[in-house]
A = this chain, B = another copy of it.
Amino acid sequence: MELLKQKILKDARVIGEDILKVDNFLNHQLDIELLNELGKEFYQIFKDEAVTKILTIEASGIAISAIAAQYFKVPVVFAKKVASRNLDAETYESDVFSFTKQTTYRIRVSKKYIQKEDRVLILDDFLAKGKALQGLAHIIEEAGATLVGSGIVIEKAFQDGGKVLREQGMRVESLAKVKKMENGIVIFE
């Protein structure tokens, strides 16, 4: 998606060879106008899939999911990362290793909010090693629901998450695919 690529080239910062900081528009400060265009694009891509629910993961997947959901006219469910007194005891769970934080965390979704009949679209801000997507897909499978695919804002295509998930048969659609980052420059596929 050209608009997103231009935004990345203009406002993202590359640190080393693997960190792409987009916290001025995507995951700390949110450029709502841009998110709106991304949400519309996800709708264009998945509009024929009869999506009944969008599933994402806290915290940085929530904004794009909420905005996109306006076009799909479906609820969003976000997986929670920590056990909370207020979360329902009856949950689907999955363990996710975060390479960014070098730690494994547990994600949880209340069983009430994903039903067997649901056609679920996963949305998230980043795809790198694919562990978060795998965890979410696992939860959808546990629920007996249908995963129609995953919409990703930025895929780090130089890591193997996207490749592995596509080989496993998941439909993964990324709005920007980063081929590599070198000397502070982002090169798209």
* Contact A70 B28, beta carbon cutoff 8 Å: no
Determine the distance from Cα of A133 to Cα of B73 in the docked complex, in whole angstroms. 31
Q: Name the one of B36, B84, B101 contacting A100, with C-beta atoms under 8 angstroms.
A: B84
* Contact B28 A69, beta carbon cutoff 8 Å: no
Q: Is A33 an interface residue (CB 8 A)?
A: yes
* Contact A66 B35, beta carbon cutoff 8 Å: yes
Asked, given contacts A66-B62, A86-B21, A86-B100, whether A78 binds B113 with beta carbons under 8 Å apart, the answer is no
* Contact A75 B30, beta carbon cutoff 8 Å: yes
Shortest Cβ distance from residue A22 to the other chain B in the assembled complex, whole angstroms = 9
Determine the distance from Cα of A67 to Cα of B76 in the docked complex, in whole angstroms. 13
Q: Copy number of this protein in the oligomer?
A: 2
Q: How many residues of A contact B (CB 8 A)?
A: 39
A contact residues vs B (CB 8 Å cutoff): 19, 21, 23-24, 28-33, 35-36, 58-59, 62-63, 65-67, 69-70, 73-78, 80, 84-88, 100-101, 109-110, 112-113
Look across to chain B and name the residue whose beta carbon is closest to the beta carbon of A110.
B28
Q: Name the one of B32, B36, B86 contacting A19, with C-beta atoms under 8 angstroms.
A: B86
A-B pairs, 6 with minimum CB distance? A58-B59, A63-B66, A59-B59, A30-B76, A32-B69, A62-B62
CB-defined contacts of A76 to chain B, threshold 8 Å: 29-30, 32, 63
CB-defined contacts of A113 to chain B, threshold 8 Å: 24, 28-29
CB-defined contacts of A62 to chain B, threshold 8 Å: 30, 59, 62-63, 66
19 contacts between A and B (CB under 8 A): A19-B85, A23-B88, A24-B112, A24-B113, A29-B77, A29-B110, A30-B75, A30-B76, A35-B66, A36-B70, A63-B63, A63-B65, A63-B66, A63-B76, A63-B78, A67-B67, A67-B70, A85-B100, A85-B101
